């Protein structure tokens, strides 16, 4: 029972991290200190996707699922949980690289707006 709960907590943490990485830049528009947390998460997520690495939370979740008597899964979190919703055929390396590049582009836009707002506030 405890391993099932821990596996689900890791799953929620992983999903929350992804949401924060994608949308956390918006928080920077309101409170600049969020950048101290958000920029490292963007860098990590981008590197993981661009390099084709597996996030350490994925094997941790699999180990906890196996300890709970459940089945684990192969591949990464996005390929297992997110890609089937968007890309039923699966997540290819090209899509992973696109996701990594998209994270960077999106955050360059959001941080550009944040810097522009900061400059406007100082004037």
Q: In sequence order, which residues have a C-beta less than 8 Å from that of residue 64 and are 6 or more positions away? A: 3, 4, 6, 7, 10
Instruction: Give pLDDT, residue 118.
Output: 84
Buried b (16+ CB within 10 A) or exposed e, 62-80: bebbeebeeeeeeebbbbb
The torsion of the CA quartet 114, 103, 23, 34, rounded to 10 degrees, works out to: -50
Instruction: Give pLDDT, residue 86.
Output: 47
| Residues above pLDDT 90, as percent of the chain | 20
Residue 32 CB coordination number (10 Å): 13
Instruction: Give pLDDT, residue 88.
Output: 45
Instruction: Give pLDDT, residue 64.
Output: 92
User: Which letter does DSSP use for residue 24 in this model?
Assistant: T
DSSP three-state, residue 123:
coil
| Residues above pLDDT 70, as percent of the chain | 85
Q: Do residues 49 and 21 lie in contact, with contact meaning Cβ atoms separated by under 8 Å?
A: no
Q: How many structural domains are present in the chain?
A: 1
Give the residue-averaged pLDDT of 102-110: 87
Give the residue-averaged pLDDT of 107-115: 89
Residue 75 pLDDT > 80, yes or no? no
pTM score, whole prediction:
0.70
Residue 87 pLDDT > 60, yes or no? no
Task: Give the residue numbers spanning the domain of 108.
Answer: 2-122
């Amino acid at each position: 029972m405890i391993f099932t709960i821990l596996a689900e907590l890791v799953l929620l943490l992983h999903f929350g991290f992804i949401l924060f990485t994608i949308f956390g830049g918006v928080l920077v528009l309101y409170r600049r200190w969020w950048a101290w947390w958000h920029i490292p998460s963007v860098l990590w997520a981008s590197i993981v996707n661009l390099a084709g690495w597996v996030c350490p939370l994925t094997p941790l979740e699999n180990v906890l699922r196996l300890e709970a008597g459940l089945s684990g899964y192969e591949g990464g979190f996005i390929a297992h949980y997110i890609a089937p919703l968007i890309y039923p055929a699966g997540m290819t390396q090209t899509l992973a690289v696109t996701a990594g590049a998209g994270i960077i582009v999106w955050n360059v836009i959001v941080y550009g707006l944040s810097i522009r707002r900061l400059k406007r506030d100082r004037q």
